[in-house]
Structure 1
Amino acid sequence: MSSEKDNREFVTALARGLDVIKVFTRERAELTLSEVASSSGLTPATARRFLHTLQSLGYVTSNGRRFLLTARVLDLSAPYLASMNLQEVAQDHLQDVVAATGDSSSVTILDGTEVVYIATVTAKRAARHAAHLGTRYPAFVSSTGRILLAFQDLDTQKAILAESPLKKFTEKTVVDVEALLQIFADARKNDIVSIEDEFDYGVVSVAVPIRSAQGAVIAAINCSTSPSRVKQAEMLKTREPILRDAARKISDALRQYPMLAHSILAERQG
Structure 2
Amino acid sequence: MAAKEPKDPEYLSTLERGLSVLRAFDHDHPEMPLSEVAVATGLSPAVARRCLNTLVKLGYVAQHGRRFLLRPEVLVFGSAYLSSMNIEQVALPQLQILRDQTGDSSSLAVRSDRHILYVAHVSTNRHIRLGANVGTRFPLHATSLGKVMLAFESEAEIEATLAQAPFDRFTERTVTSAEAMRERLAAIRERGYDSALDELDYGIVSIAVPLFDQDRTAIAAINCSTSTTRISQDELVRTRLPLLRDAAREIEAALRRWPVLAHSLRRT
TM-score (norm 1): 0.93
3-state SS in 2 of match to 1:6: coil
- Separation in 1 of the partners of 2:230 and 2:243? 17
Structure 2 CA distance for aligned equivalents of residues 162 and 24 of structure 1: 28
Per-residue CA deviations over 1:70-111 (Å, capped at 9, x if unaligned) read 111111233222221223311111111111111111011112
- The answer (yes or no) to whether the contact 1:112–1:160 under 8 Å persists in 2 is no
Any gaps of 5 or more consecutive residues in structure 1?
none
The sequence identity of aligned pairs, in percent, is 46
Q: Matched residues in 2 for 1:132 and 1:68: separation?
A: 20
User: Quick one: structure 1 residues 189 and 6, their matched pair in 2 at CA, closer, same or farther if it must change by over 3 Å?
Assistant: farther
| Structure 1: distance between partners of 2:257 and 2:126 | 34
Partner of 1:230: 231
1:75 corresponds to: 76
Q: 1:215 to 1:22 in 2, by over 3 A?
A: same
Give the letter for the 1:232 counterpart.
Q
Instruction: Tell me if structure 2 keeps the 8 A contact 1:138–1:164.
Output: no
Whether the 8 Å contact between 2:153 and 2:218 is mirrored in structure 1 is: no
Letter in 1 for 2:173: K
SS at match of 1:218: strand
Residue-by-residue CA offset, 1:163-211 (whole Å, 9 max, x unaligned): 5782111122111111112111111111000000010110000001111
* Residues 163 and 205 of structure 1, relative CA distance in 2, 3 Å threshold: same
CA distance, structure 2, for counterparts of residue 26 and residue 6 of structure 1? 34
In the alignment, the residues of structure 1 paired with residue 5 and residue 89 of structure 2 have an alpha-carbon distance, to the nearest angstrom, of: 33
Deviations 1:27-80 (A, max 9, x none): 101111000011111111111111101101111101211101111111123322
Cα deviation, residue 5, structure 1: 8.0
Q: 1:94 to 1:164 in 2, by over 3 A?
A: farther
1:126–1:105 Cα change, 3 Å? farther
Q: Which residue identity lines up with residue 71 of structure 1 in the other structure?
A: P
Distance in 1 between residues matched to 2:186 and 2:87, nearest whole Å: 28
Q: Tell me which residue corresponds to 1:18.
A: 19
1:1-270 aligned at under 5 Å gives the runs: 6-163=7-164, 166-265=167-266, 268-269=267-268
Q: Secondary structure at the match of 2:91?
A: helix
Native 8 Å contact 1:108 1:117 kept in 2: yes
**C-alpha distance after superposition, 1:101-142 (max 9, x if no partner):** 111110111121111111111022141212101111111111
When the two chains are superposed, the root-mean-square deviation of aligned CA atoms in Å is 1.7
Rounded to whole Å, the distance in 2 between the matches of 1:144 and 1:4 is 34
Q: State the AA in 2 paired with 1:243.
A: L
TM-score, structure 2 normalization? 0.94
Residue type matched to 1:61 in 2?
A: A
Retained in 2: the 8 A contact 1:113–1:161? Answer: no
Letter matched to residue 206 of structure 2: S
- Unpaired segments ≥5 residues, structure 2: none
